[in-house]
Every structure is written in C-alpha cells, then in structure tokens.
C-alpha cells in the first residue's frame, strides 16, 4: 500500500479506547496532550475502572443524547468546545443496539469540527454493552497497576470483542496464565509495541506514546486492507519461490565447458580485422569514435597513436562515411548514437613505419590475451628513459574495465600486490614469466595450474594508472634474477622480443 493512501486512511480517524484505574484524579492533562498528538486519529473513549468523575466544572454530554439522532450543523453550533466531554455513566446511558452505536460514532466524529479531540468516559458497570464499542475501536490501551490487574484481565476475558482487538498493555506485569488465558493471549499479540510503550511512561511522555499508537493504528489498517493483485501473489508465493531458488542449482546442474578454444576464436577475429582493408563497427551509444580510431590505427599499422593522429583519422573517417566532421561532438569526443555503423579503413594518410610488419604479429598476440575486441597497445617497452619517453618495463594494453585476461599457455599462477602495480597475477612456465598488473579481480590463487584460454583476472585500475588497462611484463626465469613473483626469480625482457622467442611454444 502506498504511503499516501495509508496516511489518508489513518486521517479518516477511529476510536481508541483508553482504560485507566487506581487514579484519584484522571490524568486529564496527559490525556489532552496524547489526544492532540494523535491528530486525526484522536477520538478516544476512557474506560473508567475507578468509577469517579474526572472532569469538574463542565456539564458532560450524555451518551444517551448522542445515540438517538445524528447531529446536524445547527446542533454542533450550539455545543461549546468545553462541553465535548462525554460520560457513559448510568445503567441506561450506553447504547444497546447497532443503530445507536453507529449514531454515537457519527456524532463523536462530527464533534471534531469544534474540538481537536473528544474524550468519553464509560464505567465498567456496562460490560454487557461495551463490546459493541470495543468492536468499533482500532486499539484498546490499558493503563493497569497492580491493584487493577485482575479487574482489567477479567474485562478482556469477559468481553469477546476485546479478545480480538489490538491491545496495548501499559504494565510490566501480565495476568495469570491459567486464570486469564484469553486475556494473556490477546495481550501477547502486541508484545513488542507494549514493551516500547510501557518504557515511555504515559504521564511523562504522552506525545511519544502517541507515536507508538499511530504506528499500531496503521498496522491495523494494513491488516484490514491487504495487498491486492500481483503484489499479493508475489508476497504469498515468496517462500515457495525462495525454496525453488535454493533447490534449483542442485536439480539442474550446468556442465562446464573445459575446452581451451576460448583464445583461438578471438585471434581469428582480430586477424580478419587487421588484414582486411577495412572493417565496420556498430556503436552502442556510449563508445567514442576516438577509442575505435586508436584501435583501428594500431590494428592496421601497429602504431602507438597521438592526439593529432586520432583527430585527423576521425575527421577523415566521418567524411568517408558521409558525415560532417563535427557530427555527435561531446567535448573532445565524437559519440555516435546507438546502432550507428561506421566503416574504418586503413589510414593511408599516416606514414606506416618500416617496423609495422615486424611488430604486427606481436601486436595481435598481446591484444588477443584480453577478451575485448577493441583492445590496443598504448605504450611499448623502453629499457632506458630518453628526452621523449619514460623508462617503461613492459607494454600497456588499453581495454574496457572488467574485461577478462586470458592465459595464453599452460602455466602456474602466482599473485602479488604493490602500490605501483596494484593487483598482480603472474604465469610461470619452465623458462619464462608473464605478469599482468593493475588487475581488478583475480580468478586464480597462488600455485594453481591454468590452461590456455582460462580467464585468470579482469582488467582494472588498481595501483598507479590513469585508466583501465593491463601492464604486461615478460621475463626469463633466472635463479639470481632481480625480480620475483611467488617462489620464482626472473629478469625482465622486452615483451616484443619475448613473443618471437617463446610464441611458437604454447605448452
């Protein structure tokens, strides 16, 4: 049920019965504050176990007068706000028929127009008729002391309607289980709210008690107005659906594909793209042309691109496809709408280096170990720093965040972590080592054997990095090597040289 609907139903008001005993003077001030705090749900009747008149100075309205006919506007205008205290004392004062009780309820509700709350008093002398009034109430609050314990419990035990009502028992003690079993059971239904309410001390904190009562009123509304339609079906069937969800994995076991062809298909796809004079790419609405341009230039010519190369190539590609150079510009990027297909051709305007043919095979190999069809190299290995480049002990392969890193051969996995490289996983064979740095998640543990094509980790941004990529380091196993992963020592070599030395051997 929506919150606004629940508030609307609550604001329509309803009776709250308040039973009090063993008080020389009824705590009128606390009751007034309590009623004001309840607002629209403030119409309540006090069941007086003491038999004393709590209000002095005002002539109370007799319940008998309010149960004979519905009050109209002129009747209400004649009643002053000081008269809105109702007594049900006397043997014939309490209504005896359903019609009279409905009339009484209507009139008390109408009196809200001249007073924010209505207080009525009934005496326990009319137990035979009070059941009808109890059945109209949303809540029965019982302020009980040790002296009135038995009389309050007997009241619930004798009045059937009270046994079905929501009861807030403001006492630490409970009725005897054997002597008052029905009363005990009725009180136990709101045990949590009762404990909370009793701890507040009604006379000191009537406003806080009103908050507890409001909550119970709304619960009673929800009980009487259960969910309908699809939400009700979901609620009722949830336990069954939960059991099915738990059992299903044991009944329908999925076979694991243990083949290691995972890597070969991707290599074939990339080979086709790199050898063909052009390829088409369909955008998803989030990918930029600049990213695909970097991939295309690298695939065709094995070149690490700069901003000027990418800008010129994107402009030429847009023109070749019949679009304006400024199409889909967002800042420094061009982001085509979802479903847009663009053909990327070999960048003939870019001078192709002589080393492109030599590096091409290694380029395809290193980008193929990342399960991202548009992965590309962003930086090569540099043994020493120069005026134009920094020292770099591996190659960087740019990829989407979370793309899987695939094992290129049989090996044993070792993991580590440091501030610069972040999360690291290494693959060690007999003579050589490959490390993948800046990983997001590791999919293998130390000492585990991996097969070709197995996902071993995912691409991330851990350590020192400006974006998602894999920093790949290769090395030769050496017992006196300067570097170490797991229990293996090694010396770093250029990943391009490593490719030509070890690529033919995939065992």
Gap between the Cα atoms of 439 and 465, Å rounded: 11
Gap between the Cα atoms of 486 and 92, Å rounded: 95
Question: Mean pLDDT lowest for which of 121-130, 214-223, 270-279?
Answer: 121-130
Report percent pLDDT > 90 for the chain. 31
3-11 and 206-224 helices, crossing angle to 10° = 110
Give φ, ψ of 171 to 5 degrees. Answer: -160, 145
Three-state secondary-structure class, residue 287: coil
Considering the domain architecture, whether residues 156 and 280 belong to the same structural domain is answered as no
Boundary residue ending a domain (169, 199, 224): 224
Gap between the Cα atoms of 158 and 150, Å rounded: 12
Written in H, E and C, the secondary structure of 157-178 is HHCHHHHHCCEEEECCCCCCCC
Q: Which residues pair with 436 in a beta bridge?
A: 425, 472
Considering the domain architecture, whether residues 84 and 131 belong to the same structural domain is answered as yes
Specify whether the CB–CB gap between 459 and 370 falls below 8 A: yes
Average pLDDT score over the chain? 76
Considering the domain architecture, whether residues 191 and 320 belong to the same structural domain is answered as no
Q: pLDDT-based confidence at 404, cuts 50/70/90?
A: very high
In a domain, 238, yes or no: no
Q: Which residues contact 273 (CB under 8 A, 6 or more apart)?
A: 279, 299
The reply to whether the predicted model has a pTM over 0.75 is no
CATH number at residue 490: 2.70.70.10
In a domain, 250, yes or no: no
Considering the domain architecture, whether residues 391 and 273 belong to the same structural domain is answered as no
Q: pLDDT-based confidence at 54, cuts 50/70/90?
A: very low
Higher pLDDT pick, 234 / 127: 234
* pLDDT tens digits, one per residue of 92-126: 444 555 566 556 656 655 654 444 444 444 444 44
Pairing of strands 329-330, 488-493: unpaired
Considering the domain architecture, whether residues 64 and 190 belong to the same structural domain is answered as yes
Tell me which H or E stretch contains 495.
helix 495-502
In a domain, 446, yes or no: yes
Question: Is the pLDDT reported for residue 183 higher than 60?
Answer: yes
Considering the domain architecture, whether residues 462 and 500 belong to the same structural domain is answered as yes
Boundary residue ending a domain (291, 323, 353): 353
> In which domain, by residue range, is 289 found?
257-353
Higher pLDDT pick, 465 / 37: 465
Gap between the Cα atoms of 301 and 267, Å rounded: 17
**What average pLDDT does this structure show over 134-158?**
75
- pLDDT (0 to 100) of residue 462: 94
Considering the domain architecture, whether residues 383 and 487 belong to the same structural domain is answered as yes
Report percent pLDDT > 70 for the chain. 65
Considering the domain architecture, whether residues 285 and 348 belong to the same structural domain is answered as yes
Specify whether the CB–CB gap between 363 and 294 falls below 8 A: no
Gap between the Cα atoms of 472 and 232, Å rounded: 55
In a domain, 251, yes or no: no
- pLDDT (0 to 100) of residue 116: 42
Considering the domain architecture, whether residues 326 and 270 belong to the same structural domain is answered as yes
Considering the domain architecture, whether residues 317 and 446 belong to the same structural domain is answered as no
Burial (0-12, 13-18, 19+ Cβ within 10 Å), 449: exposed
- Helical segments of 67-114, H only: 73-78, 98-110
Beta strands in 26-69 (DSSP E): 44-48, 61-62
Beta strands in 56-144 (DSSP E): 61-62, 85-87, 119-123, 137-143
Question: Is the pLDDT reported for residue 5 higher than 50?
Answer: yes
**What average pLDDT does this structure show over 376-400?**
90
Specify whether the CB–CB gap between 131 and 155 falls below 8 A: no
Gap between the Cα atoms of 297 and 306, Å rounded: 11
Per-residue buried b or exposed e for 303-321, using 16+ beta carbons within 10 Å of the residue's own CB: bebeeebbeebbbbbbeeb
Q: Taking the CB of residue 171, how many other CB atoms lie within 10 A of it?
A: 17
Q: Taking the CB of residue 450, how many other CB atoms lie within 10 A of it?
A: 21
Question: Mean pLDDT lowest for which of 44-58, 164-178, 207-221, 346-360?
Answer: 44-58
Specify whether the CB–CB gap between 175 and 153 falls below 8 A: yes
In a domain, 492, yes or no: yes
Three-state secondary-structure class, residue 194: helix
In a domain, 449, yes or no: yes
Q: Taking the CB of residue 489, how many other CB atoms lie within 10 A of it?
A: 16
In a domain, 242, yes or no: no
Gap between the Cα atoms of 86 and 355, Å rounded: 103
Considering the domain architecture, whether residues 389 and 312 belong to the same structural domain is answered as no
Q: Taking the CB of residue 439, how many other CB atoms lie within 10 A of it?
A: 25
Three-state secondary-structure class, residue 481: coil
* pLDDT tens digits, one per residue of 410-450: 999 999 999 999 999 999 998 899 999 999 999 998 999 99
- The tally of domains found in the chain comes to 3
Higher pLDDT pick, 378 / 101: 378
Question: Is the pLDDT reported for residue 91 higher than 50?
Answer: no
Considering the domain architecture, whether residues 9 and 112 belong to the same structural domain is answered as yes
- pLDDT (0 to 100) of residue 275: 53
In a domain, 52, yes or no: yes
Among 3-7, 91-95, 266-270, 274-278, top mean pLDDT goes to 274-278
């Amino acid at each position: 049920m929506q919150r606004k609907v629940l508030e609307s139903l609550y604001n329509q008001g309803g009776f709250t019965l308040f039973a009090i005993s063993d008080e020389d003077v009824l705590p009128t001030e606390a009751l007034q504050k309590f009623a004001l705090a309840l607002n629209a749900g403030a119409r309540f009747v006090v069941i007086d176990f003491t038999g004393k008149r709590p209000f002095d100075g005002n002539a109370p309205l007799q319940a008998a007068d309010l149960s004979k006919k519905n009050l109209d506007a002129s009747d209400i205008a004649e009643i002053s706000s000081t008269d809105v205290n109702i007594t049900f004392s006397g043997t014939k004062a309490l209504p005896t028929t359903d019609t009279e009780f409905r009339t009484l309820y209507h009139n008390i509700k109408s009196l809200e127009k001249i007073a924010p709350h209505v207080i009525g008093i009934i005496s326990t002398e009319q137990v035979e008729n009070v059941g009808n009034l109890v059945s109209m109430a949303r809540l029965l609050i019982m302020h009980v002391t040790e002296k009135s314990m038995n009389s309050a419990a007997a009241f619930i035990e004798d009045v059937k309607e009270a046994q079905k009502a929501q009861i807030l028992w403001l006492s630490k003690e409970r009725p005897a289980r054997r002597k008052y079993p029905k009363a005990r059971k009725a009180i136990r239904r709101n045990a949590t709210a009762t404990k909370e309410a009793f701890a507040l001390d009604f006379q000191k904190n009537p406003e806080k008690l009103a908050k507890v009562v409001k909550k119970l009123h709304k619960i009673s509304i929800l009980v009487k107005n259960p969910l309908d339609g699809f939400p009700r079906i979901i609620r009722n069937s949830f336990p069954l659906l939960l059991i099915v969800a738990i059992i299903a994995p044991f009944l329908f076991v999925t076979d694991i594909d243990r083949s290691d062809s995972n890597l070969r298909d991707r290599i074939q796809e990339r080979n086709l793209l790199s050898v063909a004079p052009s390829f088409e790419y369909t955008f998803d609405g989030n990918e930029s042309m600049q990213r695909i341009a970097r991939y295309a230039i690298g695939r065709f010519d094995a070149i690490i691109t700069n901003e000027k190369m990418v800008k010129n190539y994107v402009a030429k590609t847009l023109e070749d496809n019949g679009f304006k150079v400024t199409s889909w510009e967002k800042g420094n990027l061009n982001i085509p709408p979802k479903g847009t297909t663009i053909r990327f051709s070999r960048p003939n305007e870019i001078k192709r280096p002589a080393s492109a043919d030599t590096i091409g095979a290694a380029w395809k190999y290193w980008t193929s170990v990342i399960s991202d069809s548009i992965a590309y190299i962003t930086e090569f290995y540099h043994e020493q720093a120069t005026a134009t480049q920094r020292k770099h002990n591996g190659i960087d392969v740019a990829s989407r965040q979370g793309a899987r890193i695939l094992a290129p051969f049989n090996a044993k996995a070792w993991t580590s972590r440091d501030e610069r490289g972040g999360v690291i996983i290494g693959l060690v064979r007999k003579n050589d080592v490959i490390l993948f740095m800046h990983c997001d998640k590791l999919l293998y543990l130390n000492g585990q054997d991996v097969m070709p094509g197995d996902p071993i980790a995912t691409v991330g941004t851990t350590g020192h990095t400006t974006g998602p990529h894999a920093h790949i380091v290769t090395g030769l196993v050496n017992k006196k090597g300067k570097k170490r992963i797991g229990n293996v020592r090694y010396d770093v070599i250029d990943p391009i040289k490593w490719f030509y030395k070890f690529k033919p051997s995939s065992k």
